[in-house]
Amino acid sequence: MSEGTNAPNGSRVKCEACNAEAIIVKAENPSLSCCGQALTITFKPGA
């Protein structure tokens, strides 16, 4: 299992491998990944 991205609620994340995007509405799992790699945070609330 690969280490993933730690994204808070309201963040937008993207997989650079398959271009899938998601908005985090309830951050329960601190390790998010897709296609075997960590996701890129493209928007972080409060930043």
Domain region containing 28: 1-47
The upper half-sphere exposure of residue 31, i.e. CA atoms within 13 Å in the direction of its Cβ, equals: 6
Write out the H or E segment, with its range, that includes residue 16.
none
In angstroms, the CA 28 to CA 6 distance is 10
pLDDT band at 3 (very low <50, low <70, confident <90, very high): low
Q: How many domains does the chain have?
A: 1
Q: Tell me, yes or no, if the pTM score tops 0.85.
A: no
In angstroms, the CA 24 to CA 3 distance is 17
Q: What digits encode the pLDDT tens for the residues 25-45?
A: 987 766 788 999 999 999 988
Cα dihedral: 8, 14, 20, 22 (round 10): 20
CATH number of the domain to which 43 belongs: 2.20.28
